[in-house]
Amino acid sequence: MRFSIKKLRAHKWRLDYTLNGTRCRPSYKTKELAEAEQARIEAQISDGGTAWLALEANERIELMSLLREIQTAGKTLRGVWDEYKRRSLGKQVIAKTLGEAYEQYLTERKALRLSPEHLGGIRTIVGRFVKPRAAQFVTQITRQDIVTFLQPYADETFNSYRRYLSSFFAWCLSLHFHDENPVATVEAIDRRRFASHDRPPGVLHYDDCKALLKAALDTDPGVLRYLAVGLLAGLRPEREAAGLSPADITDKIHVRAKTAKDRQQRYVEILPALTEWLALPLPAPEQGPRAFDYPIKNLRKRLDAIRVAAGLIKFEPDKPKHGRMKRAKIIENRWPKDGLRHTFASAYYALYGAEKTIAALGHGDYDMLFQHYRRLMSREEAEKILSITPAVVTAPPTVPGVPSLKLNWPPASPKAMHTAAGSP
């Protein structure tokens, strides 16, 4: 680089040089000031060359690549750095333990009036992750912690747990409890690569459906409507079927937005067989806790008793623990997950096709139907399942050559059954 110093007039000296293709001509009051500036620039260039040579080859290549990108965008290296510092100002990470962050997160989720199921998922999944790490700071949680926690779980559970954790740490990031989301780089498993992708959903067979309804009819009629709307209308068990009130049953079943999973109300057609189940007289109130109520009380225990009576599950003998009875472990299980809803979906699809099935289930696309609910079922089996009535369930088995007995249903005794006031 060449420098020249020229006197312009009294008390005015110009330093003339070219830097990065740009001609620079600053002026100074004295020649000494111009010479001092020239010395400073030469020293800076010398130091810069030494620093440049001290870089590794890959570092020099990366630096030049970034500089070209910055220049192409019409920016300068100094401008980009200053902008970064401006944006980062006031965003220092706040020290917060994982336990403290979790309690605050759960409190805020409750204030948003999220569904009990979603709040239960936060307690179960995020709470399980937090419990052994509650004393750690949020910033100490790494990607490896997430991977280690998720690894034991099957494909669908892996994705579900990952979503809950990602939402929690995204919230932590927004409040500056962490400078990154450790879940962000943990990829979800593609549904098309699930190990269970070709495994059909579990459904109840015709004889199982009859046994289930017969057991409820004999032991706990108060749960009959819950089972019937699950099997013959496909209502979701936790909220839609359990929260159905008599006012929601007219010529169709009205699934209200407050009980629907997607907060979308819908109407479900009442099949002829379901009409007969809904028309049954309800147990008298004096029969105690077995009477039908809204919402159903002690549903889990009552449903377990019915499934045991139907031969669908079997529990190990009760064992006291620390002087208290704990829930017995299931040792035989022929009850599929969401068995009533999956059975309805498979049977309804076989008879009415995908469009009507999606509408009845309250889904918006084919993927959910085919991945989770539809099982290949013959039309004959589907017709038998969706045609199960009280008369079919209570009819004695037919013996060749012996005429069948005519069923007198319902019983005429008003002491055993009565029609609930205002029930459909």
27, 49: one domain: yes
Three-state DSSP at 4 gives strand
Q: What is the pLDDT of residue 62?
A: 86
Neighbours of 6 (CB within 10 A): 13
- Long-range pairs for 173-177: beta carbons < 8 A, 24 or more residues apart: 175/94, 176/91, 176/92, 176/93, 176/94, 177/93, 177/94, 177/96, 177/101, 177/138, 177/139
Contact 29, 5 (CB under 8 A): no
C-alpha span between 102 and 123 (Å, rounded): 9
**Which of the listed residues 193, 222, 255 is the one where a domain comes to its end?**
193
270, 228: one domain: yes
185, 246: one domain: no
Contact 360, 392 (CB under 8 A): no
**77: Cβ–Cβ under 8 A, 6 or more apart, which residues?**
67, 70
C-alpha span between 55 and 66 (Å, rounded): 15
**Which of the listed residues 86, 120, 137 is the one where a domain comes to its end?**
86
Q: What is the pLDDT of residue 419?
A: 37
CATH number, position 122: 1.10.150.130
Name the CA dihedral angle for 396, 313, 221, 345, rounded to a multiple of 10 degrees: -90
Q: What is the pLDDT of residue 20?
A: 66
What's the token pair of residue 88?
């980062």
ω into residue 410 within 30 of 0, thus cis? yes
Q: What is the pLDDT of residue 209?
A: 93
Distances (CA, A) of 26 to 14, 18, 29, 38, 48: 6, 11, 11, 11, 22
The H-assigned helical ranges of 131-223 are: 143-150, 155-174, 206-219
Q: What is the pLDDT of residue 125?
A: 94
Q: What is the pLDDT of residue 250?
A: 86
**Average confidence (pLDDT) per 10 residues, the chain, 424 residues:** 80 81 82 85 74 75 87 84 66 86 94 86 94 93 94 88 94 90 90 63 88 90 89 86 83 82 81 90 55 69 90 78 62 84 89 85 69 74 92 70 41 36 36
139, 262: one domain: no
Distances (CA, A) of 197 to 151, 189, 194: 19, 12, 5
Distances (CA, A) of 354 to 242, 348, 358, 362, 406: 26, 9, 6, 12, 38
Centroid of chain to Cα 147: 18
Identify the domain containing residue 8 by its residue range: 4-86
Q: What is the pLDDT of residue 285?
A: 53
In total, how many domains does the chain have?
A: 3
Q: What is the pLDDT of residue 123?
A: 94
Q: Please return the burial class of 143, using the count of CB atoms within 10 Å of its CB with bins 0-12, 13-18 and 19+.
A: middle
Q: What is the pLDDT of residue 126?
A: 95
E strand or H helix at 23, and its extent?
strand 22-24
Contact 315, 332 (CB under 8 A): no
64, 107: one domain: no
